[in-house]
Chain A
Amino acid sequence: MWSFFHKFGSPPWLYALSGVILRWLLPVTLLALLVGMVWGLLFTSPDFRQGNSYRIIYIHVPAAVVAMAGYYLMALAGAINLIWRMKMADVAMKAAAPVGAAFTFIALFTGAVWGKPTWGTWWVWDARITSMLILFFLYLGVLALYEAFENKEAAGKACAVLSLVGMVNIPIIYKSVDWWYSLHQSASIKFTGDSTIDSSMLYPLLLMIASFYALFTCCLLLNMRTELLQRESRTQWVRRLVSAAGNN
């Protein structure tokens, strides 16, 4: 068990493993995304109150769910880096920030586009939407903070602290629709009790949520691989890798 854990600290091992995972996970993810989108767009009935605009749910909800989960992952990686000084955790944290920002942007944009025909406005400063915007700025803040430091170790520590402090925002996003009066509806999928969404809409939505999780993993691994090569460019294993690629 411990040797397995220690292997995660080894850049060449992680680089090779992520390459193998991506080779099958990326095509499967793209296929699942395509199936989910076509299913949601073409093969489900419109919502009886919102009509066809509700079809945005199949990208809006998965993007928002994964944007929040991705933040937990980023903060967890930051904490591991702070406590155990694990370099690979720092790589994972830095790799998660742009992906999380992209997913949050998708959630915000699709939310705005969905809001226009449903609420009659692109934007309201209510709790759910504002806290989601703060999440977006937190991701961007981590990215900017990384670039602001010359010393990469100090940058990693500062970003870890920022992401840990920012974690207070996640339960606020989650609970905002229950705590404050909001235009935004509350959750339709419930782990306990009956979901308030018809199963014909639930299944494609669950597929899309799973696909977005897989997509986040793919993007994270791709970013980590690039970051690993960059940080380790002076080491023997990268030199061997590059010369092996050059000879082929």
Chain B
Amino acid sequence: MYFDSVHALLTMDGHGVYVWSAYLVTITVIATTLLVPRYRRKRLLQRLTAEFKRTKGVHGANTREQN
């Protein structure tokens, strides 16, 4: 490892604030880009599950009535 101590790693001779903020923002943006489509797909699947169950239920009730 290049740095001698955690302090040296964090400050990076005065450049720490630039380097670390760049990396933190990058990681945040990457995480958001990965998580948003997953979250949207999950929500969509939940909505579709509920929708299909409801239509199936209505369909089932109708057939019972006909019997």
A residues in contact (CB < 8 Å) with B? 26, 33, 37, 41-46, 51-53, 55-56, 59-60, 63, 98-99, 102, 105-106, 109-110, 113-114, 116-117, 215, 218-219, 222-223, 225-226, 229-230, 233, 238-239, 242-243, 245-246
Contact = CB atoms under 8 A, between A and B. Distances in A.
A110 B15 CA distance: 13
B7 to A, nearest CB: 13
Interface centre among A55, A60, A215 (most CB of B within 10 A): A55
Contact residues of A: prevailing secondary structure? helix
Interface of B: 1-3, 9, 12-16, 18-19, 21-23, 25-26, 29-30, 32-34, 36-38, 40-41, 44-45, 48-49, 52-53
Nearest to A223: B37
A226 B45 CA distance: 9
B11 to A, nearest CB: 9
Contacts of B9: 41-42
A78 to B, nearest CB: 20
Contacts of B16: 52
B15 A222 contact: no
Contacts of B40: 226
B15 A59 contact: no
Given A113-B22, A243-B52, 11 more contacts: A53-B19, A55-B15, A55-B19, A102-B32, A113-B21, A218-B34, A219-B37, A222-B38, A229-B48, A242-B48, A246-B53
Contact of A102 (B2, B29, B38, B49): B29
Contact of A230 (B3, B21, B32, B44): B44
A225 B26 contact: no
A208 B53 CA distance: 46
Contacts of B53: 246
B44 A106 contact: no
> 10 closest A-B pairs (Cβ-Cβ)?
A52-B12, A222-B37, A53-B15, A52-B15, A226-B41, A110-B22, A113-B22, A102-B33, A226-B37, A223-B37
